A and B are shown apart, each in its own frame.
Chain A
Amino acid sequence: MPLTLAWIALLFALASALLPLLCGNRNRAIKTIAFLLLGLAGLAGIAGGGLALLQGASYNLTLPVGLPWLHSHLHLDPLSGFFMVIVGLVTVVAAVYGPAYVREYEQGPQFLLPLTIFTALFVLGMDLVLLAADAFTFMLGWELMSISGYMLVVYQHQHERNRSAAFIYLLMSHVGALLILLAYGVLAGFGDGFDFTHMAAAQLSLGWGSVAFALALLGFGIKAGLVPLHVWLPEAHPVAPSHISAMMSGVMLKVAVYGFIRFTFDLLGEVHWSWGLIVLLIGCASALLGVLYALMQHDLKRLLAYHSVENIGIIYIGLGLSMIFASNDLPGLAALGLVAALYHSLNHALFKSLLFFGAGAILQQSHEHDLGKMGGLIRGMPVTAGCFLIGCISISALPPFNGFVSEWLTFQAALQGTALKSGILGSLIPVAAAVLALTGALAAACFVKVFGVAFLGQARSKQSLAAKEAAPGMLIGQGILALLCLVFGIFPTWTVGVISNIPLMLLGVGLPEATAGGWLWLTPVGAQTASYGAPMVLLGICLAWLFVYLRLHPRRRKTSVQVGATWDCGFGPLNARMQYTATAFAMPIRRIFQPVWPIEERIEPETAENPGGGRHLKVGDWAWQKIYLVIGRVLLASAKRAALIQGGNIRVYLAYSFVTLLFLLWVIV
């Protein structure tokens, strides 16, 4: 039954890709059909995945397509079911949000059709990846996802930015795909078979295992956006249509995480502790650098993209802990780490897509990417502001919202590091926890900046002054996600109980302790060790608020509220330019962590076009400057060398074949 539903989801996605082709260029029809079917696909995915997750069972199906001797195997188990739910959730919301959002493209120079088609194919590819049970089908879905993602990023191709971003994205994900293919190849070489059952049966030596693991880490890491493989992410997400950025950042990265979990925990079999340590360290680096780079951005969507890097880092910290515990045969703790990582995947999908939807709404209303031009938007678009605020709180890992729960679980897992024999690990893991703490605090700082600068204060530009509330569809979409953020923050016990089916399948143990205290108390390791009563927290805050509010309410006290001008220290009236800007807000942190960024900062001389001169500040990315540009230079140089073989003189050409002949003769005789 669940597999049938998942299968239906695939069909709906396919239909949503193909049916609009019949509509010619009647935009309304295209929108209706495409997004309706997309939503249905999402719902079917949620239903199928959810059932599989709840029942904790796995289902198989073999389709008569693919290679003659390797038919494509489909497989649905709690792990893939969980991620199908994530995909489904965001897809549904995107389907609600999309029709209103794409309205601005209808007047645009390009047709609407490619957008809807490739959105559907994008979803189709992701679902296929989740369902695949053999390398061929997996790669099929994976590359379908990549290529349609490319088409979506390049959709507004009149802008140079879009084109270059899309190219970088496609190139990197293609390289990633090759690495993944290679990783599967290694497993298949030992397990002689390309379906996952054979691969899982493969017995690898430590050396080959490490090779396969490294390939998988790199391959999936490129897609997931681990530092330093993240450079495509801040380029691609800002330029894609916002609901696409939401899906890419919220879901596609998760699919990469799924691939990594599937490969490492399911197929690779026995894990080595050093692999876990590497994952942990990379996770820490991604989390910290991600948030630090995010702090320096002033393009809203670019900033959110860097936060995706951060959150993926947090997820990988959880995975790393889980792998370390698993390799030290502490399956219970490994389950805890895995659950934390999975929970954070779900949460990040929710709040990151919520934030991107919010950014989309702002973009549509004020046509502003730049935080420096926003301000005071809360007056024009209060609902969006409210949802965005919830997103900010969740992503900053503040109670009682969902982001906090998963980070709390990660902390709990990290604190069990003392259970390990090895002192090195025992001392490194707490440091990782400290890094996680620093990350959370910086994230909070960053989102105070974002919300404060974008929504509060005075408008910094005419457009943001004139911004009105977005269309109902878009608001509903954001509302759903905001609600889910709260729900998954308030009822973590139930969620953890469900998710723990996955470690039950992968590691053989669930988290029986976690739900022991009833739905009210989340006690991952034991009631004595740590407990978190999320509903109580909400209740407590509300009670305290109520109490204070009732005590101080004007009806009982004869105090009045007057509205007056802001205190201007006796100078002239305040204007928008006197406010703190995003750059100014982040300045102290920039000074403290200076070496982290390549900063070019100078006072520009007074010229005709900008009277009074100006301050030029550009914060780059070391990874881009130190790795990718270098690779590019080397590549072009070697191409120049290789070109010498095509010099143009026919006698030289003939000499080549002459020498080749002589050489071969000399070799064989």
Chain B
Amino acid sequence: MNGWALAVIQAGLLAFGAPFLAGWVKWVKCKLQCRQGPSPWQPYRNLSKLFRKDIVISEQASPVFRMAPYLVFSVTALAGSVMPFVAIGLPTSAIADVIVLVGFFALARFFLALAGMDVGTAFGGMGSSREMTISSLAEPAILMAVFTLAMTVSSTNLASMISHLLVEPFQLYPSFIFAGMGLLLVTVAETGRIPVDNPATHLELTMIHEAMILEYSGRHLALMEWAAMLKLMIYGVLIANLFIPWGIALELTPLALAIGLVAITGKLAVLGVVLAVAETSLAKMRFFRVPQFLGLAFILCLLGMLSHVILEVR
């Protein structure tokens, strides 16, 4: 029973920690660019303000438009709740394995794109089209990456993956290096960061995610934004716990949990810095360069899988 309680708490932590990660990345970025950035807590302020604001809805909008933010958020939240965040072996992690996780993101994206097309503006359609194009290239790459891991540990269950990696005596998997790099690239594309998308701009030629939610306002917009942050968070946790599993709580004792919390916070902070550095040093690329970018990711994942089959299967 307390397993379930812990699971809910962990999900809550994940959800409410997400804006901080986003803020943290932005803050680090500003520091790197020698700017006086907003504090890492700024996203919380934005969200609460948006929640309080009135809503303006286009008269073209259909029920899908009103439904989408709730659905997108709740699906993303559910995805977060099945992630091993601080501890593994929680009952929720049995609900969904990593394929289902990808499925959740796809579902959220599906409605996000529909919402983008709903009011029938050029922007929305453009955003949806680009989003679906990119994701349709990114998804197989993600799956390839996680398949590499899944085949190594012969399980697609996140919890059992991680525990397997921790329990087994440590060994260097060359496939993991490729898979990890691939997954990093895909994460960048999936969470709409530079060089694929630029969350900070509303310049119609460059934006993807922002274009889809252009018509949203008030709490709807808040939910959409929050869902995006949550997504970034989840990907971060995924990378962190899959490739650097150490520190996560194997059994549910307070001490272990505390260690786990600290560990994951540290990992995420580091990841945030890495992301910020990358975003600072790279330039936004043309949309039609993105396929090459993702192609690279896909090749990396494929290499990972092949090196697993060729080198590691005994």
Contact = CB atoms under 8 A, between A and B. Distances in A.
Are the chains A and B members of one assembly? yes
A427 B214 contact: no
B71 interface: yes
Contact of B302 (A408, A434, A455): A434
Interface stretch (A6-14, A138-146, A252-260, A556-564): A556-564
B232 to A, nearest CB: 18
A632 B129 CA distance: 39
Contacts of A397: 103, 106
A447 B113 CA distance: 10
Interface in A531-581: 531-533, 536-537, 540-541, 543-545, 547-549, 552, 557, 559-568, 574, 576, 578-580
Contact of A399 (B57, B100, B215): B100
Contacts of A415: 147, 150-151, 154, 156
B147 A574 contact: no
A372 interface: no
A399 B223 contact: no
B219 interface: yes
Given A426-B309, A552-B51, A444 B132 contact: yes
B129 A540 contact: no
Contact of B125 (A430, A438, A579, A591): A579
Given A434-B302, A456-B114, A378 B62 contact: yes
A369 interface: no
B122 interface: yes
A399 B107 contact: yes
Contacts of B306: 427
A426 B313 contact: yes
A612 B113 CA distance: 33
Interface in B116-150: 116-122, 124-126, 128-130, 132-133, 135-140, 143-144, 147, 150
B99 interface: yes
B10 interface: no
Nearest to B135: A441
A529 B59 contact: no
Interface string A412-434: 10011110000100110011011
A396 B110 contact: yes
B58 A557 contact: no
Q: Assign chain B's interface to a size class.
A: 35 or more
A576 B313 contact: no
A657 B81 CA distance: 88
A297 to B, nearest CB: 16
Interface residues of A, number: 87
B73 interface: yes
A521 interface: yes
Contacts of B121: 566-568, 574, 578-579
Contacts of A458: 60, 120
B155 A529 contact: yes
Interface string A375-415: 11011001000000100010011110000100010011001
Contacts of B56: 561-564
B276 interface: no
B97 interface: yes
Contacts of B156: 411-412, 415, 529-530
A457 B129 contact: no
B128 A564 contact: no
A389 B157 CA distance: 30
Contacts of A557: 51-52, 219
5 contacts: A426-B313, A528-B155, A531-B95, A566-B119, A579-B121
